[in-house]
Amino acid sequence: MKNNPTKNTALWLSLLVIATSLVACQNNSALGVVSNYHWNKHGLVTNNNKLNYHSRSINKITIHHTATQNKIGESDLERLRSARRYHMQDRGWGDIAYHYLIASDGTIYQGRSADFVGGSSTDYGTDNNLLIAMIGNFEVENPSYQALESLKNLVANRALHYRINPANISTHRHHASTLCPGVRLQHWFDRVGENEILHKLQEKTSLF
């Protein structure tokens, strides 16, 4: 079961006080996010008819992995494009499942528009939920330092932007019977990752 430290409540209260001033400062360009137009401009066209808007403002963040095996000579960008084709052609979804994806070199890619509910092959609530995926299969490989740093920064940034209670930052495995986000990424989150994300939030709020 997900650990829910009591310090989350105090941190959440502090975030509420300063959230109004932070919202204007938290955007994709500040993180160097590669827009889906740039990485997918020659790919499949998003089918908005197969997508649903969130019923209310995003209030949760869930961490995933793409579970894509690393083939010899294949780049993270190729793995990203492969995941999108699979989600749209094989799963029949309107776009890639995740709102953001993070490569092994730390590059953050924009996925499905955050206006729309993300996709999942498991039965858990993706409505009002921001889905962030690490590119790779962390059942068999370790997440890189660069990717983990980007994950912490992105999660903290989006939590501030949407005013998300830190208690609502979790992994896919906390919500469904699944291997996602992979045993090695899950171990990082449970052992140190959750607290390191909280520290990132505290660092960002101390700047205002």
Give per-residue pLDDT as tens, 89-127: 999 999 999 999 999 999 999 999 999 999 988 878 899
Cβ within 8 Å of residue 196, ≥6 positions away: 152
Among 22-36, 82-96, 156-170, name the one with the lowest average pLDDT.
Answer: 22-36
Residue for token pair 């197969």: 50
* C-alpha triplet 175, 177, 179: angle, nearest 5°: 100
Q: How confident is the model at residue 77 (pLDDT cuts 50, 70, 90)?
A: confident
Q: How far does CA 170 lie from the centroid of its chain?
A: 10
pTM listed for this prediction:
0.85
Q: Is the dihedral of CA 153, 157, 160, 162 positive or negative?
A: negative
Tokens of 48: 């908005």
Higher pLDDT, 46 or 43: 46
Please, what is the average pLDDT of the chain?
A: 86
Residue 52's pLDDT is: 95
Q: Exposed/middle/buried for 61, CB within 10 Å: 0-12, 13-18, 19+?
A: buried
Residue 203's pLDDT is: 84
Alpha-carbon distance 58 to 205, whole Å? 20
Name the nearest CA neighbour of 202 among 17, 22, 15, 16: 15
Alpha-carbon distance 112 to 93, whole Å? 11
Among 2-11, 56-65, 85-94, 138-147, name the one with the lowest average pLDDT.
Answer: 2-11
Q: Is the pLDDT of residue 30 over 50?
A: yes
Q: What is the mean pLDDT of residues 152-175?
A: 94
Give per-residue pLDDT as tens, 175-207: 988 999 999 999 999 999 999 999 998 887 765
* C-alpha triplet 16, 18, 21: angle, nearest 5°: 125
Q: What is the mean pLDDT of residues 143-150?
A: 96
